[in-house]
A = this chain, B = another copy of it.
Amino acid sequence: MKRIEQHASFGGRQEVWQHASRSTGTPMKFGLYLPPAALRGEQRPVLYWLSGLTCTEQNFITKAGAQAFAAAHGLILVAPDTSPRGEGVADDAAYDLGQGAGFYVNASEPPWAAHYRMQDYVADELPALVEQHFPASGARGICGHSMGGHGALVTALRHPGRYRSVSAFAPIVAPSQVPWGRKALGAYLGADASHWREWDAVHLLGRARERLPLLVDQGEDDEFLDQLRPELLQQACSAAGHALELRMHAGYDHSYYFIASFIGEHIAHHARALAA
């Protein structure tokens, strides 16, 4: 494992690490923010951030402005890349499939199955790695944007007990019902739509075994509302008796300007649960 970037940031340190992943069989990069408390050697909770389509490990760490709040609350932030990458890795010319578009699933279909094991990576390998090498307390939260909002919801729902808090910005809540999700899940998991439900937050909520504090922010001027469908999440939570704080924001779009405007409140949401 190799540190390839480090920058002082709000009294802590923003780093980027690269390592050989056994899940994907490729080199993977992730951003790591260590708050001042972690630099002093304290064991701190970790908030995982999953990014959206086309992103790398860079977008969140350069644009969200999260470090100020992580420093204040003493949270470690971990932000992985969104797919395996490289010459030997299957890809597609479209922005919404292949490299940069892993959808946080474990692919079963060729040519994707060889490397696209992003669920194993983000849910198992990466937390184990982080907790082995950095001053992580073992308390985990998970958060994400768009495709990464889907990833955060699904990863938490598939692993009861693993996270204490979950939140999302403009998540794809029902991938089996929208074009982005149907295209990606069809490619990665095959044409049998019954296999998609295990990767669909709205479906998984119906049998959720735990009740995590769940905060979702959605811009009302989001250009991708037809892919996101926050009303389906609201209906599913209501039917399942799962609490949901869904906040609709007039005027906000799908960009990092939206994320930056509310990331402080998401980090406070996670810090409350992670300190408990």
Which A residues form the contact surface with B (CB < 8 A)?
7-11, 13-14, 62-63, 65, 67-68, 219, 221, 249, 251-253, 255-258, 260-261
Contact between chains at B65 and A257 (CB < 8 Å): no
* Complex: A258 Cα to B12 Cα, angstroms: 11
Residue of B nearest to A66 (CB): B65
CB contacts (< 8 Å) of A261 on chain B: these are 8-11, 67-68
Residue of B nearest to A7 (CB): B257
* Complex: A115 Cα to B252 Cα, angstroms: 37
* Complex: A249 Cα to B68 Cα, angstroms: 17
Q: How many whole Å from A119's CB to the nearest CB in chain B?
A: 30
Additional 11 contacts, C-beta under 8 A, given A7-B257, A7-B258, A8-B257: A7-B253, A8-B221, A8-B249, A9-B257, A9-B260, A10-B260, A62-B62, A62-B256, A67-B257, A67-B260, A68-B261
* Complex: A104 Cα to B14 Cα, angstroms: 31
* Complex: A37 Cα to B17 Cα, angstroms: 42
CB contacts (< 8 Å) of A67 on chain B: these are 257, 260-261
Contact between chains at A65 and B260 (CB < 8 Å): yes
Residue of B nearest to A11 (CB): B261
Q: How many whole Å from A263's CB to the nearest CB in chain B?
A: 10
Which among A11, A249, A255 has the highest number of chain B CB atoms within 10 Å? A255
Contact between chains at A8 and B219 (CB < 8 Å): yes
Q: How many whole Å from A252's CB to the nearest CB in chain B?
A: 4
Contact between chains at A8 and B63 (CB < 8 Å): no
Q: Which 9 A-B pairs have the closest CB atoms?
A: A7-B257, A65-B65, A8-B251, A9-B257, A8-B252, A10-B261, A7-B255, A62-B63, A14-B257
Q: List 8 contacting pairs A-B, 8 Å CB cutoff, sorted by A.
A: A8-B253, A9-B260, A10-B260, A10-B261, A14-B257, A62-B63, A65-B65, A67-B257
* Complex: A252 Cα to B6 Cα, angstroms: 10
CB contacts (< 8 Å) of A10 on chain B: these are 260-261
* Complex: A261 Cα to B8 Cα, angstroms: 9
CB contacts (< 8 Å) of A221 on chain B: these are 8
CB contacts (< 8 Å) of A256 on chain B: these are 62
Residue of B nearest to A61 (CB): B257
* Complex: A9 Cα to B7 Cα, angstroms: 26
* Complex: A9 Cα to B253 Cα, angstroms: 9
Which residue of the partner chain, among B8, B65, B258, contacts A258 with CB atoms under 8 Å?
Answer: B8
